[in-house]
Amino acid sequence: MSAWSLRSVLVASEFPVIEVVSAVAMNIDILTIFPEFFREVFDFGIIRRARLADIVAINVHDIREFTTDKHRMVDDRPFGGGDGMVLKPEPIFAAIENLLGTSDRNKFTARTKVVLLSPQGRPFKQAVAKEFAVDAERILIICGRYEGIDERVNETLVTDEISIGDYVLSGGEPAAVVLVDAIVRLLPEALGSETSAENDSFSSGLLDYPHYTRPAEFRGMKVPNVLLEGNHAEIEKWRKAKALEKTRSNRMDLLEGENGEM
């Protein structure tokens, strides 16, 4: 294990003090009003293995646990009018103070990121996943909801506002899963044999070429001959051509550059 953290956060507060004493490469906390959403998603594949190997610790927190009012209110009506409700700042500030010891982003350690997931964020790309995997040891993810979140959270707490793409989700929870998956698989020692080669050095900027396995003929559909013949130079040429063809038809923007590597 390369980088690891060992720290203890103790905060005087009315909330249960969450003491972080960890020997993992990365600590991820998720703040959400739907903690149940995450019950099983992190229990499979690379993320599960990374958790079991103490490469990453993932903790999910219910924003409602950080309310202090009788009705445990997490949202309220928007100033200025409009439909729907806005997530209130108090429980989110309380959660961050409980987890990090401060809600002032200027006092976070350099390797701490507080990510707000919102449609207004900067686009999440492989380069951003790498940046987080390399630069961060502590990532707090705040899941927004459809109606929005009080902007003061964004102004003082959040270090990175991120969107995962140009489509409308009902909340940040599915985006949080995407972020965690993309980041954790980049942590040193998280990738097993399954994915190792396909990763860094191979970043061609193109989509992948097509893959085939046995049988060589299935319901009349044949595997391209070049793959069966064992001429590795020819196979390489074929794969490059097919990758280019696939990229041209599905992702012209990648060929025109300035849209992140794959």
Tell me which residues are annotated as active site. 119, 147, 185, 200
Binding site for ligand 9D3 (CB under 6 A): 117-119, 144, 146, 148, 163-165, 167-172, 175
Smallest separation (angstroms) from ligand 9D3 to the CB of 19: 29
Smallest separation (angstroms) from ligand 9D3 to the CB of 54: 28
Which of 120, 225 has the CB closer to ligand 9D3?
A: 120
In 3D, which of 171, 140, 186 has the Cα closest to residue 2? 186
Spatial distance between the Cα atoms of 260 and 214, rounded to a whole number of angstroms: 34
Within 13 A of 156's CA, how many CA atoms are on the CB side?
12
Smallest separation (angstroms) from ligand 9D3 to the CB of 30: 13
Which of 79, 167 has the CB closer to ligand 9D3?
A: 167
Smallest separation (angstroms) from ligand 9D3 to the CB of 181: 14
In 3D, which of 6, 23, 16, 35 has the Cα closest to residue 172? 35
Which of 50, 169 has the CB closer to ligand 9D3?
A: 169
Nearest-10 crossing angle of helices 126-135, 173-184? 70
Q: Which two tokens stand for residue 257?
A: 């550059």
Q: Which two tokens stand for residue 61?
A: 């927190």
Which of 101, 174 has the CB closer to ligand 9D3?
A: 174
- Inter-residue contact 129 to 68 (CB < 8 Å): no
